[in-house]
Structure formats: C-alpha cells, structure tokens
Structure 1
Amino acid sequence: MALCPEISGAPMTASPRILPSGDTALTVEFGSSIDPAINRRVLALDRNVASDGVTGVTETVPTYRSLLVHYDPLRIGYAELSDKLLALAQRPVPPEAGVRRWRVPVVYGGDFGIDLDDVARAHKISTSDVIAKHTGSEYRVAMIGFTPGFAYLSGLDPAIATSRRESPRTYTPPGTISIGGVQGCVQCLAAPSGWHLLGRTPVRTFHPHRDPVFLMEPGDAVVFHAIAANEFDSLDRAAERGETVAELIAT
C-alpha cells in the first residue's frame, strides 16, 4: 500500500475557463486540483446562478473544481450565457454563514472497516490513531457524484491520506466510510470501489422515500464519531424507515 504525498495542484485561475460540453451545457472551470479555495469559488458561482435566476439555465452540477451548467439554447445562447457566468464568477466569495454541520455515527474496523488495519500499518500508527485522526477532522462536502448520495469530502488529515488500492473491489457495502488519496467519502449505496474501507455508517445520504431525498449538499460540513458495533443495527433500521440518524449539530 502506497502512502499518498501531499497534492500540490496547479493554482486556481484568476478568471475561469468556459468549456463547451455538448450543445446544451457548458463547464466553468476554476482550476485543476483538489483545493478548498477553488471549491468555494465553484459553490459561490452555483449559488449566484440560482439566486440571480439566469435565463435559460435548467440545471447546475458543482464539482471539486468546476461547475457544469445545463441550459436551453432556445432561450439563451452559448456566448451570452458564457458572459453572464464569467461576470457572476468575478463576484467576491462571501464569508461562510449558515453552514450545516452533520455529525455522522461510524462503526470502525472489523467487518465494518476491513482496511483499517492496513491503513494503520501503512502509516506506522495504531488503528486507534487512525480513528482519532479520521474523527478529529471537519470535512466539507465538495460534491455529490458517482452514485446517488455519494458525498466526496475534502478535509482529510494528511497523516492518513493513502493512495487508492491497486486492485479495486467489485463490491463494497452501503454506508461505507472510506478514504482514497486525499479524499474521504460517505457512500450510500453498494458499489465497486478502489478506496480503503475504514468503517460503516447507518446514515442514508440518499433515501427515495424520505424528505429530503438527499441528506447532504455541497458545502455542508461533516464530522464523524465512533459508535459500538452493537449500536449499528437499531440505527440502521431507523434509517431504513426514513429517519435521518445523523445529527444536525449547527446551521
């Protein structure tokens, strides 16, 4: 298992690039690395597009470093929309306010987190140290993607950043809490994965019969806390019924 060196990506651009993405979408690209400052600019533009009600925009999809904007070309053209988005992107990023913070329960290690021991050995620390470092950070939901409710998290302690597995698994269980490179995640549905499984949470970040269907949004903060294995089943049943299970600790 390889340790993950600190990533020093290219700096963010002063003015974002506009890239065509088919005939009904374009991408506003702010940089080329996983960087909290870049992600804040992406999310700020996403909010500005929504609050300004830009004509013709039908959907936006924020990522770590760019914003995909779907639009109706019969209502607004590529050039006009590009100009509007570039103007909105130049607005100062406002100070954070009203951040939602989720406290997520996790059972670490054993059958719930089969890679915990390997991650500890790779970094020459104890499993307790890995858990302490994982629960000691505040993460931000940088984007939602891959599968419904899959929350990509920035903010992982560099001391436990670990390169992805050389051989991805074809199956990882729902609720998996894992790390890959400098990223963390909350995985809602069963899926293939090349990340390292530290534990599982009963929290459903996606539940089609709950309001809201998606629990977390880009920009939310997440903290983890360890629970005992014998607490998992009752919380899992509650989550399946549509209960949130995760605690909203601040807004």
Structure 2
Amino acid sequence: MKARIDAWGDRGWLVTVDVDSIEAANRRVHALRAAIEARRPPWLQDLVPAYASLALVVDGHAARGQAACLAEARAWLERLLASAPDAEAGTLGRRVDIPVCYAPEFGPDLGAWAAHCGLEVEAAISRHTAGDYRVAMLGFSPGFPYLLGLDPALAMPRLATPRPHVAAGSVGVGGSQTGAYPAAGPGGWRLLGRTPLRLFDPQRAEPALLAPGDHVRFVRIDRAGFDALSGAGA
C-alpha cells in the first residue's frame, strides 16, 4: 500500500495514504485500520482515523522506553505497508439508521438549501434520505460524524457566519459533506432537520453512537415520531 509515515508528536506515527480521491483514500485508511487491528501489536495504544490518514498512538514500555517502542512500531508499519495490497474496501462497519425530522423548526435552511440545489423541498429531502453514507471520521466535537457519500447535487457551502447556537441532534450539510451535531454549540453547516438520538453520551460504554467506517442512512420521521423517540430517551 502506497503511504507516507511521519512522526506524530513524540508518541506515535501518522500514516498518510497516497490516493487522489478522498473517498478512495478513506476506504484505504479503514482497510489499513482493519489490518492493524487484526494483528494488534503489543505497543499499540490507539488508532485515530481521519479522511486520508491514520494516527497510531504508541504505548512505550517502561523497561524499554518510548524511543525503542517508536522505532519498533515504525519498522512494523513499514513491513505491513510493503506487504498490504492497495485495497480500498476495508471493513463493512455497522449499518445504522438515523431518524430525522425534516421540519422547518428543526431545519431553518431547508428552503434555501433546496433552492440552491434547484429542487423542491420534498425532492431535496428524498434525495438526502436516499443516500448511503459512510462515517469517514469523528471530529470537531466528541462524536461528530463526518459523512462521505452526499449526492454532489445536494452540496452547499457553509454559512459565511456560523450560528452561535446549533441544537444537539441537528442534521446538516457543509460543502460536500453531511453530518449531525452531537451537542449544542456554534456551527456553520446548513441545517436540514434534527434527530432525537443521542449521538454522544459519556455515560454509555461506547459514548459515540457512530464509529469510523459505519454506514449511515437517514430515515425520515414526522414531528410526532420525533417527540415519541425524544420522550423514550433515544
């Protein structure tokens, strides 16, 4: 697999795959992550996937020291990359349905977004829910999923000035990506609707609902369905 290895601070390595397409690069990142997890070397503390790179956090053994473990990790990585094919499939990941209420009170940008796309609102929503999205990475805030797979016709630039407050669960479009806000806070994506699901909950065994590599489908629900799921503690 064609890739570059760079130092990642003093505790790890950053592997950047050599692919032009961001979609293909991300598939290779997840294929590499799966290959590493299948072997799980003893020095590996954590893996952090991004769009076109994978960070490996190295746990230095007290008896050997961090430098020796870093050198061992780099040599191990070089051997793995030399033998790994340029596979792009990676692991399938889970398939997760995210219920979304596309209502004006939850999606203040619905009309402007549909007009920008040259579509009626209902047609734009139908195309958004027809997508098969893949979690490329988590970032920005804990559990925030950056999703690849948005229909190019549905892309829209972010707001020139971010909103000071976006409600938790808000689903939106930012450029050529779609995603959802796990927590309330400022944000500049175009808001289309809201999910009642808790995308991040520190009390859960796995705080983030979604993980890199998962496949996501947005399922439209009405306001009554949203309120019912919200009341059920979804």
Q: TM-score, normalised by structure 2?
A: 0.89
Partner residue of 2:76? 84
Moved more, 42-51 or 195-204: 42-51
Q: Percent identity?
A: 38
Q: TM-score, normalised on structure 1?
A: 0.83
Which of 108, 112, 117 in structure 2 is aligned with 1:114? 108
Q: Give 2:31's aligned amino acid.
A: A
Structure 1 residues 201-242: Cα deviation after superposition (integer angstroms, max 9, x where no partner): 011121122343222111111111111112212211323xxx
- The answer on whether the counterparts of 2:32 and 2:90 sit within 8 Å (CA) in structure 1 is no
Q: Quote the residue 2:169 is aligned against.
A: 175
CA distance in 2, matches of 1:94, 1:133: 26
Tell me the SS of whatever aligns to 2:212.
coil
Are 1:132 and 2:126 counterparts? yes
1:47 aligned residue? 34
Distance 2:178 2:208 in 1: 18
Which residue of structure 1 lines up, in the alignment, with residue 23 of structure 2? 36
Give the gaps of 5 or more residues in structure 2.
none
Q: Is residue 138–residue 145 contact of structure 2 (8 Å, CA) maintained in 1? A: yes
* SS of equivalent to 1:54: coil
Alignment RMSD (CA, Å): 2.0
Indicate yes or no: 2:231 matched with 1:237: yes
**How many residues are aligned here?**
227
Inter-CA distance 45–145: structure 2 relative to 1 (3 Å threshold): same
Contact 2:100–2:193 (CA under 8 A) maintained in structure 1: yes
Aligned counterpart, 1:165: 159
* Equivalent of residue 50 in structure 2, options 60, 63, 86: 63
- Pairwise mapping of residues 13-24 of structure 1 onto structure 2 (< 5 A)? 15-24=2-11
